A and B are shown apart, each in its own frame.
Chain A
């Protein structure tokens, strides 16, 4: 399990407006491309240096590929990263202010304390 890599995906998609749109429209294709091309980029290093070992588990890949924020919560993805990216992708579809955020919460209603561990 790689909570770090889940977070890295959410973090790098969220900060790029083009990737936010691409992930909204084509989640499975974006995840496949990202895992092949971007997962091993070291973000704070000079370009050209890469890691060699980062990959999603099947569960993680499926959760990201289907926009399944409930599964991401269960897997311990950082909830701030997931929420921020989901607002960027889906708030625009809501019919009234905060409706998207409330629906997002309602789908998590079956979780009780302690929540899944987010430590990486």
Chain B
């Protein structure tokens, strides 16, 4: 069976790439600590020596549009082009090409369908910064094949938080049962409290530091039940109008199960809090 060697759940901040490229004299005061934390986080993936990456993220109205919107989608293609013109324009993100892993994509689609998740698929998917941000942060050499998993946290009606957790649990079972010798890491990105295009955007912190503190505790402690008891589709409007991206963290909690994170870190930035979690489900040295 495949070995799930690491589970990474993190925020994705599209400004990190450009900030990390600035010479020290031009960099903002928070840049050095941000880069240091990201480099430390990168090591948590590197030490797991993965062969391929399952990557959970959410399209930001790039390829997935309101005339044909899937709730959960898995890419199945030999390659994925990545990043879009407006991400180059706004964030300075370069275009990438990533290899796919069609065998695992096919297996995840088949098994997911049979477990009661009507997963959409795509054979030609250009992925966006929800998946490329963690490539820039934790695997900048971009040398591993990926299976992209997209969720809808963006265009209501959305699946409920329980469904994200349930899909995470199912994906964990599927990966654990995949007949392969490969070492798999799952990397998923979401948000803590976040406001985009509303009155609370781009403040000195995330729009709801209290929510962020609780969320970090839920994730770090593997407290799925506590999280589900306090988070609903409706309640997620309160911490910020883009906070439904937290449901991608909840999906990752479903993958990690009722376990404390082996690595947890965060950084209070303008606009939003960054957070970095890693689990080693088969031990650090598996």
Residues on A close to B: CB < 8 A? 4, 7-8, 11, 14-15, 17, 42-44, 73, 78-84, 87-88, 98, 101-102, 104-106, 108-111, 113-115, 118-120
Contact = CB atoms under 8 A, between A and B. Distances in A.
B157 interface: yes
Interface stretch (B38-46, B85-93, B98-106, B172-180): B85-93
Contacts of B60: 80
Interface of B: 60-61, 65-68, 84-86, 89-90, 154-157, 196-203, 237-238, 241-242, 270
Given A11-B61, A78-B155, A79-B241, A4 B66 contact: yes
Interface centre among B66, B85, B197, B202 (most CB of A within 10 A): B197
Given A81-B61, A88-B86, A115 B237 contact: yes
A111 B67 contact: no
B84 A108 contact: no
**Pairs of residues from A and B, 6 with the lowest C-beta to C-beta distance, nearest first:** A79-B197, A83-B197, A108-B199, A119-B156, A101-B202, A105-B201
Given A4-B66, A44-B65, A113-B238, A83 B86 contact: no
Contact of A84 (B90, B202, B203): B90
A80 B238 contact: no
Contacts of A109: 199
A88 B237 contact: no
24 contacts: A8-B66, A15-B84, A17-B85, A43-B67, A78-B155, A79-B196, A79-B242, A80-B61, A80-B196, A81-B197, A83-B201, A87-B90, A88-B86, A98-B202, A101-B201, A101-B202, A105-B199, A105-B200, A106-B199, A108-B199, A111-B199, A114-B237, A118-B156, A120-B66
Contact of B242 (A7, A42, A80, A120): A80
Interface SS of B by simple majority: loop
A63 B7 CA distance: 45
Interface SS of A by simple majority: helix
Nearest to B199: A108
A96 B286 CA distance: 49
Contacts of A106: 199
Given A11-B61, A17-B85, A118-B156, 5 more contacts: A15-B86, A78-B155, A84-B90, A109-B199, A114-B237
Contact of B68 (A44, A80, A88, A118): A44
A80 B197 contact: yes
Contacts of B157: 119
Nearest to A106: B199
